[in-house]
Amino acid sequence: MKIKLVQSGGFLPVTKEAITDADLTKEECESMLKQIAVTAKHKSSPIRDGIGYTIEINNKEIDIDIEKASGKSAKILAHLKKNLKIVKP
């Protein structure tokens, strides 16, 4: 399953992306998304110079809190974060 991590924002707004093929079952994928998804109720106003993350999986784009990841999800996201490349300055 293809997973794309997108990092945006920062002091000098830059968009970065990384894509990987992850060996996740449908249940593992759903569990990961429940764990890291930022719900509308928990979204705050944009933080000046803040960095935000979204994940694209199964043709869905979801805002995430990368710090909430644990276990297999944390390993996948750490790999993606390490391999982020600038796509739009």
Between CA 89 and CA 64 the distance in angstroms is 21
Q: What is the pLDDT of residue 9?
A: 84
Q: What is the pLDDT of residue 59?
A: 86
CA 28 vs. chain centroid, Å, equals: 16
How many domains, the chain? Answer: 1
Q: What is the pLDDT of residue 64?
A: 93
Q: What is the pLDDT of residue 81?
A: 94
The DSSP annotation for 9-23 comes to: ETTTT-EEEEEEE--
Give Cα separations from 13 to 23, 25, 41, 42 (angstroms): 32, 34, 25, 23
Global pTM value: 0.85
The owner of tokens 């739009």 is 88
Q: What is the pLDDT of residue 44?
A: 53
- Chain segment 21-36, per-residue pLDDT in tens: 998 899 998 999 999 9
- Name residues of the chain where pLDDT drops below 70: 40-49, 88-89
